[in-house]
């Protein structure tokens, strides 16, 4: 998460967005509440495992065994809980399966390994054995008084990132403050990335449902939601009130969960921060997989599946690096329409009303690509637009003439932020509004106490997460009073939405229900206001091209 640190320090930083066998089925018992609870029917349909461990404060009995957390303020933090069997060996490129039972209480006081990926320098990091999640639960939560659950999916282009991502040594997605402020349980997860998460090779099709292959990262996310449904009551959570939310690739995956029939009944609300609602075609995903298998030397092997599963994990993740270009095209290893978890193009499912009808929030930031775009001359700006938009470039340049912006760089930030994020948020909101209650936000705040480079980056991609998770003190940043108030307000909106499907209440500025005609939204800044119409003229332009 170096982009966060870069903004706070006012420097130029490269973006890095968009990281066991099954046990026997038996019966278990336990206590209640956030200080200890009982297991239940498990993810994937397995029954609870027997245990002699007794529930007590900080010890919770899950379906697979007891976990021991650590006190963090007025919450109990449980980190690194396995929610599925390690996807290694024969389980590589298979749907997740239940974890084996464990007999003794498992310490869960440190994050699990990030899923295997390449870091910003191109070096392999993390591990394949990575399917863990983290829970922050209020100490007052109990079976008698269960609290809502906020279930977070991290970003990173589906090739990088983790629930333990840090900036300046601080875990960005630490859920303690959000849990304490909102009186909610916060769950963050890891899921398979890159080729391990999304490789859609035909050799694995007979092992899947309806001959589908790939989308293992999405299957992990749905499996983790099944884990939450089965286990969160033991932590004092309410399995009927689970809000799924994510940022960047995590927002894209949230839209896939929203539109997947496999996730029906597992969540009560969804919230997308700065992401699209797209998936590759099966043909594109298959061609990419064949290319990868050829590079691996497995495409023409007598047993391609065995060949690929025998690959060293570092070699496997390094074969075809997937660059993350926030202002450009997606790399390989992405979700695709498989006919089962993603039955059709996800945006088409939204538009036709064929999705899980839960309250829904979507939004974006004013300068999404503000850290990704370098300085450029007007000639370079025009050349880049021509290279990016090809035959459409003359229309784009006419809509976004460099002379209308302080610099050519600002013009390209506007082009790419509108095209990839802001206008996409409007299309998504409009598509879903006919079938469910929708709210839209637009985050516009530029950090108060940064140097010229930080100001230049604007309200960049991912900045809102610093406010939501209240990480405004990293790198010794001195947040203004207005910024502290914005952080508290955002935590309140997100938590109330998770609790009731309506972000309003507690004296907050009223957030209007989305109206597709007026494009109503809530502007998130140190002064929060409800308004209508975000970049309307430019978004009408992009819609006309589609």
- Active-site residues, by number, are 248, 368, 461
The number of beta carbons lying within 10 Å of the beta carbon of residue 398 is: 9
User: Cα-flanking dihedrals φ and ψ of residue 35, to 5°?
Assistant: -95, 15
Pairing assessment for the beta strands 59-61 and 66-68 based on DSSP bridges: antiparallel
Beta bridge partners of 77: 70, 136
Q: What is the C-alpha to C-alpha distance for residues 197 and 116, in angstroms, rounded to an integer?
A: 10
DSSP state of 274: S
CA dihedral for 366, 368, 369, 370, sign (positive or negative):
positive
Give the SS3 label for residue 475.
helix
Which residue is listed with tokens 């001359």?
A: 377
Residue matched to tokens 């597992």:
266
**At what angle are helices 536-545 and 423-433 packed, to 10 degrees?**
80
Burial of 441 (0-12, 13-18, 19+ CB in 10 A): buried
- SS (HEC) of 9-63: HCCCCCCCCCCCCCCCCCCCCCCCCCCCCCCCCCHHHCCCCCCCCCCECCEEECC
What span, in angstroms and rounded, lies between the C-alpha atoms of 143 and 145?
A: 5
Q: Could you give the C-alpha distances from 382 to 111, 138, 347, 423, 535, in angstroms and in order?
A: 46, 53, 31, 21, 22
Structure-token pair, residue 83:
């929610």
| Per-residue tokens: 443 | 């985050």
Q: Is 500 exposed, middle or buried (0-12, 13-18, 19+ CB in 10 A)?
A: middle
If one counts every other C-beta atom within 10 angstroms of the C-beta of residue 169, the result is 8
With 0-12 / 13-18 / 19 or more C-beta atoms within 10 angstroms meaning exposed / middle / buried, residue 210 is exposed
3-state helix, strand, coil in the chain (%, to 5): 35, 15, 45
User: Is the distance from CB of 286 to CB of 265 less than 8 angstroms?
Assistant: no
């Amino acid at each position: 998460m170096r982009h966060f640190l870069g903004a706070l320090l006012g420097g130029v930083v490269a973006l890095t967005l968009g990281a066991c066998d099954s046990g026997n089925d038996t019966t278990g018992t336990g206590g209640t509440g956030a200080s200890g609870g009982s297991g239940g029917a498990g993810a994937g349909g397995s029954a609870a495992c027997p245990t002699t461990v007794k529930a007590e404060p900080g010890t919770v009995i899950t379906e697979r065994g007891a976990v021991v957390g650590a006190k963090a303020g007025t919450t109990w933090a449980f980190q690194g809980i396995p929610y599925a069997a390690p996807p290694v060996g024969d389980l590589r490129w298979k749907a997740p399966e239940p974890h084996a039972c464990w007999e003794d209480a498992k310490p869960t006081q440190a994050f699990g390994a990030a899923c295997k990926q390449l870091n910003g320098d191109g070096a392999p990091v993390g591990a394949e054995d990575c399917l863990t999640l983290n829970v922050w639960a209020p100490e007052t939560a109990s079976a008698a008084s269960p609290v809502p659950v906020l279930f977070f999916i991290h970003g990173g282009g589906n090739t990088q990132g983790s629930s333990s991502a840090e900036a300046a040594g601080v875990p960005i997605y630490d859920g303690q403050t959000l849990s304490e402020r909102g009186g909610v349980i916060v769950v963050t997860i890891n899921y398979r990335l890159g080729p391990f998460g999304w490789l859609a090779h035909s050799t694995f099709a007979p092992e899947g449902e309806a001959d589908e292959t790939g989308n293992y990262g999405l299957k992990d996310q749905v499996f983790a939601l099944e884990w939450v449904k089965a286990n969160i009551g033991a932590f004092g959570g309410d399995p009927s009130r689970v809000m799924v939310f994510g940022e960047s690739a995590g927002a894209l995956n949230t839209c896939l969960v929203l539109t997947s029939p496999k996730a029906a009944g597992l969540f009560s609300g969804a919230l997308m921060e700065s992401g699209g609602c797209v998936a590759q075609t099966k043909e594109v995903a298959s061609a990419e997989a064949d290319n990868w298998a050829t590079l691996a030397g497995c495409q023409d092997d007598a047993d391609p599946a065995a060949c690929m599963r025998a690959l060293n994990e570092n070699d496997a993740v390094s074969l075809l690096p997937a660059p993350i270009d926030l202002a450009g095209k997606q790399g390989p290893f992405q979700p695709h329409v498989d006919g089962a978890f993603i039955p059709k193009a996800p945006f088409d499912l939204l538009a036709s009303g064929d999705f899980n009808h839960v309250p829904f929030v979507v939004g974006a930031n004013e300068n999404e690509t503000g850290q990704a775009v370098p300085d450029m001359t007007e000639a370079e700006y025009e050349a880049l637009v021509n290279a990016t938009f090809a035959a459409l470039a003359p229309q784009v340049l006419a809509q976004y003439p460099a002379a209308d912006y302080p610099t050519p760089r600002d013009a390209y930030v506007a082009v790419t932020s509108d095209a990839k994020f802001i206008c996409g948020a409007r299309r998504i909101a409009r598509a879903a509004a006919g079938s469910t209650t929708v709210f839209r936000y637009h985050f516009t705040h530029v950090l108060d106490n940064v140097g010229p480079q930080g100001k230049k980056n604007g309200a960049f991609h991912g900045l809102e997460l610093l406010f939501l998770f209240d990480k405004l003190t990293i790198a010794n940043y001195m947040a203004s009073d207005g910024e502290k108030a914005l952080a508290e307000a955002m935590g309140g909106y997100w938590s109330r939405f998770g609790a009731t499907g309506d972000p309003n209440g507690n004296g907050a500025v009223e957030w209007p229900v989305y109206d597709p005609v007026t494009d109503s939204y809530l502007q998130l800044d140190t002064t929060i206001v409800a308004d209508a119409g975000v970049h309307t003229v430019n978004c009408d332009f992009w819609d006309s091209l589609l």
